[in-house]
Structure 1
Amino acid sequence: METALENLSKEDLIKVISSRDELIKSLSQDTSKKDEEIDYLKSQLAMYKRMQFGQKRERFEGDPNQTMLPFEADPAEVVQQQEEIKEKIEYTRKRPNHKGRAKLPAHLPVKEVEIHPEGDLSQMICIGKEITEELECEPAKFYIKRYIRYKYAAKDKSAVAIAELPERVIDKGIPGSGLLAMILTAKYMDHLPLYRQKQIFARENIQIPSSTIEGWTRQALEKLEPLYEKLVFDTKVQGYLQVDETPIKVLDSDKKGAAHQGYFWVYHSPLDKTVLFDYNPSRGGIAAVPMLGNFKGYLQTDGYAVYDKYAKKKEVTHLACWAHARREFEKALDNDKERAEKALLMIQKLYAIERKSKQENLSAEQTKELRLTESLPVINELGKWIFEEIKSTLPKSQIGKAMAYAYARWDALSAYLYDGRLLIDNNLVENAIRPVALGRKNWLFAGSHEAAQRSAMIYSFFAICKKHEVNPFQWLKYALENIMSINHKNLKDLYPQNFKNKPTCSL
């Protein structure tokens, strides 16, 4: 080999050395690339292990050596158990260490039950009484509401008078406003599917076909459409909206035997505490055009790329969500604990400042001043740290992804400092979506795209009820009774936040 090299000219020798250097460089690059891939795969494996083996729920595996359960207990054990039950009953009657009774609601009706001593009381006089109260209830009470309209005629039979029948939710239908309100509240607020409600009716010996209950639900929701359209208009002109979306399965699908994946687009106005659900078959950016096409003001979203089109508009100030940025760093705890914890600690300081503002009940101006004084230095420190650290971080690692997520949205993450009324994260709109997730586990899907939109409508109003602490059943009953007769100029009076709620019990 050495002899062969010695016989080479100077130019050829340079070429050989250059080729060797390129080969070494290529091998080094391949090794570096493989190291990056290995680190990335390790971080993914760590995250999946955390997801798989984290304390999400209890797991149980049966013992294969376990014997069959006995069908009958030993007679001696039965006697012993009966004695223990007797002692337990006597113990619970004495109510040891009882700390006092909860105060009963004053607005509830009282049903009195008088109890006199047994035996002859003719030779005795009453010297007082002791009163004991308990909270009791009856199952849903069904009754028939019968309208009896009397006819009057003039003595000369020239005219006949009869009172007009009050407006009814379903013309010529049998359900009253209270029954319809109960059905809708049970389904969309308490997540009780219609077939279970049918079973409740059957227990009271009221047989109603499923198709009839479904028809009642549809017709009742259709009555609320004018109110919903007014809510859509009012939401469009809000100057600060939080937006998010959540999936819903719809049976109306182009594929036979498959359900269509539709989406609820949810718009929350933090200043007015109103929520609007809007259904669309798509998750594409075009779905938000009706609501955000002409939007002007502050728009707060997560990192979904669809919102970028609206966020870049000149009239829009985009706010990102610190909760989403924090979640990315939480995922990186198993990948790079030291740096992930450093970032989480600084984000924790930002939330501590927000809690301080709420606890001290600061005004919007005072909150802005507090943020500029205390939050801004933390944000600047975190931003400089990410800028320096991201240069030496593998982009595909989880810590790299967390840094990249925050770095790409830094201006939007800092924008909540502009006004004390703006929020640090998008959590309130996510909270408004939670009832939908519970509903999906119970009624599973919507029967059609139209049914999904009607569901969006009632979800909107019930979410507003929750935010303003309004009894949803009482509001809905009132709205159904009045929406057909109210002047269209006063339609906003039927909004849940404008409903004068009756007292509710609180124990």
Structure 2
Amino acid sequence: MMSVPNLDQLDANALRALAAQLVGELEQRDRVLDETRQVVAKQAHDIQFKETHIRKLTHEIAILRRYRFGKKSEQLGGEQGLLLEDAVDADIAAIEQELINLGGQPSEQKAVSQPKRQALPPELPRIQVRHEPHSTTCTCGCQMQRIGQDITEKLDYTPGVFSVEQHIRGKWACRQCETLTQAPMPAQVIDKGIATSGLLAHVLVAKYTDHLPLYRQEQIFARSGVRVPRSTLAEWVGVCGVRLQPLVDALREAILNEPVVHADETPVQVLQPGSKKTHRAYLWAYAPGVFQDLRAVVYDFTDGRSGAHARAFLGGWRGELICDDYGGYKACFEQGIAEVGCMAHARRKFYELHQSGKSLIAEQALKSIGQLYEIEALSADLCAAQRQQLREQQAKPIAQTLHAWMMAHRIKVPGGTGIARALDYSLKRWAALTRYLGDGRLPIDNNWIENQIRPIALGRKNWLFAGSQRAGRRAAAVMSLIQSAKINSHDPYAYLKDVLARLPTHPNNRIEELLPHKWQPSAA
């Protein structure tokens, strides 16, 4: 702020100019103070959030530790017990990692039963990876001499073959100034762990694609001569789930930037530690419209089927939502989201009726709906404008005739019968079922997302239940990336191996480069 001149020597214009300048400087200082207050308030809020979250995680991990290392009489036995222990061990490792990310420390030291790391079998092939300093010339100008090396061994796995990756870091010393130089170890997803990104990717793919529980993987590894305890495998799964979560969050944002979204849900059983009963939870699936360029799917694990879960996932998104007739979506449509019905669900009502009773009315409805699907097959490779034009010319007249036919037969059919229920399903949702006719971006049904949720329905026959809420959310996250890699024609193992290798040093502001639809394998 400039010094104030002698006011007695200033005329009126100069005084007005000085006053204006002083007012401007005061306003500038006020703005700076307001910005400072906002920064301080945000920092205080962030600190309070971190402290609250740390307390919550600390309480959660204490409960899990009491279950995991408590009385054996309180735990489940047999195969169910093994599955639950895997989930609990993975949850503990995930919470430990989240505490570290928040700047806190794990609430307790690891239990004494934590298995000690065993030396890797000497008969496994060794692959040497050498790390040397960029320069062996000391800052004093002298040439350094190699005085030794450190060897760190990591267990690698290429499908079907174990090997040991030896990282050899030479030690270089300058005798003149007694300076020691050594290249650092490459950053790893799990610090000081023995697993390479290839082995971690294999464990994740085996668990979440091939649906092999960790105790079975432990047995398979043992037959190959490598003993990796289940608790260690669970720790790897838990940490990887935390590290991969930012990619899933970015994938969700990418899907919600699309104007058309599919949605569906399927039940899964979940078991809470300390309880020997399962209850029904749900895995929701969301994907861009089948005609959109983006190929992705995100699964969302929730403890129930309330429509509030769908609203929470969609947030402020407004667009065309393709879904079935589940009432939980209704509140979304009241908030500005457009409902697009699924013709496959309407067809299924008539198909079941025809299969059970050979209904002639159901047969006629199936023929008309089949004509609509024939037109869709012709338009599969067209652009949205061409598809809409074809529908206007050929599909719309068929739909109008079908609607009039349904109305006429509904009057003749007694209420409460199977054919009445099938007709009512279509008639009550006719606007949603035929919305696709006016927009070439919309599909005729919701089969695309049902295909993406089918692996979950098949897999749960193997894994029976999720071991905890956290285990369910972790499974949803990893399966989102695996299934998205599949529908982009990537090998899930190759994708996860590369992503896990790059994550530790990849900038957060470029995380979208690692998403399945944008991923390019690294040059290495």
Q: Counterpart of 1:402?
A: 422
Kindly state the Cα deviation for residue 223 of structure 1 after the two structures are TM-superposed: 1.1
Choose from 203, 206, 211 the match for 2:223.
203
The CA distance in 1 between the partners of 2:459 and 2:213, in whole Å, is 9
Choose from 284, 291, 297 the match for 1:265.
284
State whether residues 247 and 512 of structure 2, in contact with CA within 8 Å, keep that contact through their aligned partners in structure 1: yes
Question: SS of the counterpart of 1:148?
Answer: strand
Kindly state the Cα deviation for residue 158 of structure 1 after the two structures are TM-superposed: 4.3
From the superposition, tell whether residues 365 and 257 of structure 1 become closer, same or farther in structure 2 (CA, over 3 Å): same
Residue 141 (structure 1) aligned with residue 146 (structure 2): no
Cα displacement string for residues 284-319 of structure 1 (whole angstroms, at most 9, x for unaligned residues): 111112222422110110011111111233x32210
Choose from 449, 465, 489 the match for 1:445.
465
The CA distance in 1 between the partners of 2:350 and 2:202, in whole Å, is 44
Q: Counterpart of 2:370?
A: 348
Counterpart AA for 1:219: V
Residue 286 (structure 1) aligned with residue 308 (structure 2): yes
Q: Counterpart of 2:343?
A: 322
From the superposition, tell whether residues 275 and 166 of structure 1 become closer, same or farther in structure 2 (CA, over 3 Å): same
Q: Counterpart of 2:271?
A: 251
State whether residues 287 and 298 of structure 2, in contact with CA within 8 Å, keep that contact through their aligned partners in structure 1: yes
Question: SS of the counterpart of 1:473?
Answer: helix
From the superposition, tell whether residues 152 and 501 of structure 1 become closer, same or farther in structure 2 (CA, over 3 Å): closer
Stretch moving more, 274-283 or 216-225:
216-225
State whether residues 187 and 194 of structure 1, in contact with CA within 8 Å, keep that contact through their aligned partners in structure 2: yes
Residue 305 (structure 1) aligned with residue 327 (structure 2): yes
State whether residues 335 and 397 of structure 1, in contact with CA within 8 Å, keep that contact through their aligned partners in structure 2: no
Kindly state the Cα deviation for residue 427 of structure 1 after the two structures are TM-superposed: 0.3
From the superposition, tell whether residues 499 and 308 of structure 1 become closer, same or farther in structure 2 (CA, over 3 Å): same
Cα displacement string for residues 223-271 of structure 1 (whole angstroms, at most 9, x for unaligned residues): 10111121222223321111000111111178x4211211111101121
Stretch moving more, 138-147 or 224-233:
138-147
Counterpart AA for 1:487: P
Point out where structure 1 has 5 or more consecutive residues left out of the alignment.
1-137, 503-507
Cα displacement string for residues 431-468 of structure 1 (whole angstroms, at most 9, x for unaligned residues): 00111112101111111101100100011111111211
Stretch moving more, 155-164 or 273-282:
155-164
Superposed counterparts of 1:235-246, under 5 Å: 235-246=255-266
State whether residues 197 and 501 of structure 2, in contact with CA within 8 Å, keep that contact through their aligned partners in structure 1: yes
The CA distance in 1 between the partners of 2:262 and 2:414, in whole Å, is 33
Counterpart AA for 2:331: K
From the superposition, tell whether residues 482 and 148 of structure 1 become closer, same or farther in structure 2 (CA, over 3 Å): same
Residue 276 (structure 1) aligned with residue 295 (structure 2): no
State whether residues 253 and 260 of structure 1, in contact with CA within 8 Å, keep that contact through their aligned partners in structure 2: no
Superposed counterparts of 1:60-459, under 5 Å: 140-252=160-272, 256-270=275-289, 271=292, 272-313=294-335, 315-333=336-354, 334-335=356-357, 337-358=359-380, 361-459=381-479
The CA distance in 2 between the partners of 1:378 and 1:253, in whole Å, is 55
State whether residues 153 and 159 of structure 1, in contact with CA within 8 Å, keep that contact through their aligned partners in structure 2: yes
Q: Counterpart of 2:113?
A: none
Question: SS of the counterpart of 2:477?
Answer: helix
Q: How high is the TM-score relative to the length of structure 1?
A: 0.69
State whether residues 350 and 422 of structure 2, in contact with CA within 8 Å, keep that contact through their aligned partners in structure 1: yes
Question: SS of the counterpart of 2:297?
Answer: strand
The CA distance in 1 between the partners of 2:414 and 2:473, in whole Å, is 44
State whether residues 299 and 476 of structure 2, in contact with CA within 8 Å, keep that contact through their aligned partners in structure 1: yes
Question: SS of the counterpart of 1:164?
Answer: coil
Question: SS of the counterpart of 1:145?
Answer: strand
The structure with higher relative contact order (CA 8 Å, sep 6+) is 1
Cα displacement string for residues 153-206 of structure 1 (whole angstroms, at most 9, x for unaligned residues): 223234221101101121111111100101111121122222221111111121
Let me know the Cα RMSD of the aligned residues: 1.7
Kindly state the Cα deviation for residue 486 of structure 1 after the two structures are TM-superposed: 0.9
Q: Counterpart of 2:56?
A: none
Kindly state the Cα deviation for residue 501 of structure 1 after the two structures are TM-superposed: 5.6
From the superposition, tell whether residues 472 and 410 of structure 1 become closer, same or farther in structure 2 (CA, over 3 Å): same
**Bigger Rg over Cα:** 1
Question: SS of the counterpart of 1:268?
Answer: strand
State whether residues 283 and 476 of structure 2, in contact with CA within 8 Å, keep that contact through their aligned partners in structure 1: yes
Q: Counterpart of 2:517?
A: 497
Q: Counterpart of 1:477?
A: 497
The CA distance in 1 between the partners of 2:268 and 2:426, in whole Å, is 29
Kindly state the Cα deviation for residue 499 of structure 1 after the two structures are TM-superposed: 2.1
State whether residues 159 and 202 of structure 2, in contact with CA within 8 Å, keep that contact through their aligned partners in structure 1: no
Q: Counterpart of 2:17?
A: none
Moved segments of 4+, more than 4 Å: none
The CA distance in 1 between the partners of 2:159 and 2:251, in whole Å, is 35
From the superposition, tell whether residues 174 and 139 of structure 1 become closer, same or farther in structure 2 (CA, over 3 Å): closer
Counterpart AA for 1:233: E
Counterpart AA for 1:298: E
Counterpart AA for 1:160: L
The CA distance in 2 between the partners of 1:161 and 1:242, in whole Å, is 56
The CA distance in 2 between the partners of 1:409 and 1:331, in whole Å, is 19
Point out where structure 2 has 5 or more consecutive residues left out of the alignment.
1-157
The CA distance in 2 between the partners of 1:147 and 1:386, in whole Å, is 72
The CA distance in 1 between the partners of 2:402 and 2:188, in whole Å, is 61
From the superposition, tell whether residues 276 and 385 of structure 1 become closer, same or farther in structure 2 (CA, over 3 Å): same
